[in-house]
Amino acid sequence: MKLVVLDRDGVINGWRPEGVASPDQWEAIPGSLEAIVRLNQAGYRVVVATNQSGIARGLFDLGDLHAVHRKLHSALDTLGGRVDAILYCPHRDGDECDCRKPKPGLLKNVAKRLGTELVDVPVVGDALRDMQAAMAVGARPFLVRTGKGERTLDENPALAQHVTVCNDLADVVDQLLEDTGS
């Protein structure tokens, strides 16, 4: 199975410190939706795995989160694309859950739901915690410079030696499709 796992905020849509609390705040990063469509056309399943601590912090509720995800699905549908699943962690940093990245629980849940291993599966994120979760399950981490990505690189310069750094999701997809000859 060809699979790619994406973080949401900062990879697909713009990043906000308080989280994307409503569909009005959700805005796709230029080229990101088209990149997902290209993955779909090349036979990849695309899954989103995202931390959403705004729920635990009371900044938005599950209804708001689902409304944002409906907007994402609708925008992709308009272009002929899709994400196969969206998994999220609603907890905050101190909640000691296993699903909040950098812990690998959310990614392990992706593997369990799809009945696959994540070894060498591309995992795309904009934060150190995304990279740490990817490495913990043996996935192939891609760090994008969008969202918090540039800051992540500035604060962790050695990270570039351990992950593939790309300008944005479209750049990641270019590399993946070139690597597979798709």
Three-class secondary structure assignment of 15-68:
CCCCCCCCHHHCCECCCHHHHHHHHHHCCCEEEEEEECCCCCCCCCCHHHHHHH
Distance of CA 79 to the CA centre of its chain: 19
143-165 pLDDT, tens per residue? 999 999 999 999 999 999 999 99
pTM value is 0.96
Q: Which of 9, 126, 130, 171 is catalytic?
A: 9
Pair of tokens at residue 39: 């993955």
User: In total, how many domains does the chain have?
Assistant: 1
92-109 pLDDT, tens per residue? 988 889 999 999 999 999
Q: How far is CA 95 from CA 7, 29, 53, 92, 133, in A?
A: 20, 30, 10, 6, 17
Helix (H, G, I), strand (E, B) or coil at 126: coil
Whole-number pLDDT of residue 180: 74
Tell me the C-alpha distance between 79 and 82, whole Å.
Answer: 9
Whole-number pLDDT of residue 94: 85
Whole-number pLDDT of residue 143: 98
Whole-number pLDDT of residue 182: 64
Tell me the C-alpha distance between 78 and 23, whole Å.
Answer: 16
7 carries an active-site annotation: yes
Q: What angle do CA 38, 118, 101 make, to 5 degrees?
A: 95
Whole-number pLDDT of residue 63: 96
User: Residue 31 belongs to what domain range?
Assistant: 3-180
9 carries an active-site annotation: yes
Look up the CATH number of the domain holding residue 61: 3.40.50.1000
Which residues of the chain fall below pLDDT 70? Answer: 182
| Percent of the chain scoring above 70 in pLDDT | 99
